[in-house]
Amino acid sequence: MREFTLNSLAVNAAVWATAVSAGAIYNECMRFYPLAVGLIAMFSIASHAIPMRSCGDYAAKIPNVKPHLCETAQLQDMKARSVQGRPIWGRDVQVDDSLLRILVLGGIHGDEMSSSSLVFHWIAMAQTPPSDTPVAIHWRFIPSLNPDGLFARPAKRVNAHGVDLNRNFPTPNWARDARRYWEGRTQKDPRRWPGNKPLSEPESRFLLDQMDSFKPNLIVSVHAPYGVLDFDGPSVPPSKLGRLFLDQVGIFPGSLGNYGGIHKGVPVVTIELPSASRTPTDAEMRQMWIDLLRWTSDRLGPGISTAVQGFSKQQ
C-alpha cells in the first residue's frame, strides 16, 4: 500500500510538473501571439502590395512621379494580368458610409504617361480629403491599365497584342462599326486597331469586370494630349476641370465613353491633358481635383440611389 501511494505521488508530481511546464510554455506563447498575428497580417498585406522595385520602374517611366509618391499610394494587386503577365495595380480609398463610387483610370494608352501621373497625385489627395466634402466617396484608382504599353520601348498606345484598348469595348454593332471606322476614318492606323472582337484583351476584360463588380456611379478616364474635357452619358457635364474646358468630341465604336456613358448609362468624364509626357503643375492638378469634387457633389450626389438602381437593372 505504501509503495503504491509513493508511486501514485510520484506520478502525480510528474503530471503536475508537466502541466506546469506546459502552462508556462502556453503562457509564453500567448505573450507573442498578438505579435505573430500582426506579423502574419503585415506580410499578407505586403505580399499583395506593389514592391519598391516596381515603384522605381514606374517612377522611371512616368513624369512627376517619384518612388515615394508611388510607395505612399499603397497600390494593391488587383488580381489581373496584362498580356505579358504584368500586374494591374489599384487602390481603394474610402470613408465610412460611402454612398458614391467613382472609378478613376489612367494609362489606357501606354504612351500617355501624364495620365498615370495625374492618377498617382489624385490618390495622395484622396487620402486627405477636404473636411467640408458633402458626399462620402469610395474611390477606386487604377493608374496604369495598360502596363505593357507603358513599359514598351518606346512606350506605345496599344497593348502587347497591338490593340487599342479604348476601341475594344462591346458597344452595340461593334462587329460592323469598329472595323469600318478603323479602315475608313483612321486609314487602318495600327495605333487604333480595335482588335478582332470586343473584349479580346485581358486588360479590357478586367475593366469590364470592375464596372460590373464595383458598379461605379462615375468613371473618370484620363488621357492626353488634346487639352480638353469630354463627357458621355447622363447628367449635366462639368463645364471645366482646372484649365480644361468642355469640348465634346463625339463617340467612337468600342470606346469606354460609348460603352459606359451611352450604352450602360454611367457618366464618363474623359480628361485629355495637354501633354502626354508632361503633367500640369501641382496647383493645376489640385484645382482639377477640387473642381471634380464640386461637380460630383452638385450633380451626382442628389441622385446616388437612382444611379445605383439604374445600373443594377442593366446587369
**DSSP string spanning 220-264?**
EEEE-SS-EEEEESSSPPPSEETTEEB------TT-HIIIIIIIS
**pLDDT for res 48:** 61
Cα–Cα dist 299/27, whole Å: 59
209-222 per-position pLDDT tens digit: 999 999 999 999 99
Q: Which residues on neighbouring strands pair with residue 140, listed in sequence order?
A: 92, 103
Q: Which residues on neighbouring strands pair with residue 103, listed in sequence order?
A: 140, 219
Cite the DSSP H helix spans in 62-173: 67-73, 113-126, 147-151
Residue 299, CB half-sphere, CA atoms under 13 Å: how many?
A: 17
pLDDT at 277 over 70: yes
255 Rama sector, left if φ>0, alpha if ψ -120 to 50, beta otherwise = beta
Cα–Cα dist 293/130, whole Å: 10
Confidence bin at 82 (pLDDT 50/70/90): very high
pTM above 0.75, yes or no: yes
Confidence bin at 20 (pLDDT 50/70/90): very low
**pLDDT for res 303:** 56
User: Hey, what's the torsion of the CAs at 290, 57, 145, 270, to 10 degrees?
Assistant: 30
Q: Are 122 and 238 in contact (CB under 8 A)?
A: no
Mean of the per-residue pLDDT values of the chain: 85
162-200 per-position pLDDT tens digit: 999 999 999 999 999 999 999 999 999 999 999 999 999
**Pairwise pLDDT comparison (207 vs 6), residue with the higher score:** 207
Q: Which of 47-51, 176-180, 236-240 has the lowest mean pLDDT?
A: 47-51
**Pairwise pLDDT comparison (124 vs 97), residue with the higher score:** 124
Q: Are 211 and 140 in contact (CB under 8 A)?
A: no
User: If you search the block for the grid coordinates 456611379, which residue do you land on?
Assistant: 217
Cα–Cα dist 217/192, whole Å: 28
289-309 per-position pLDDT tens digit: 999 999 999 988 765 543 334
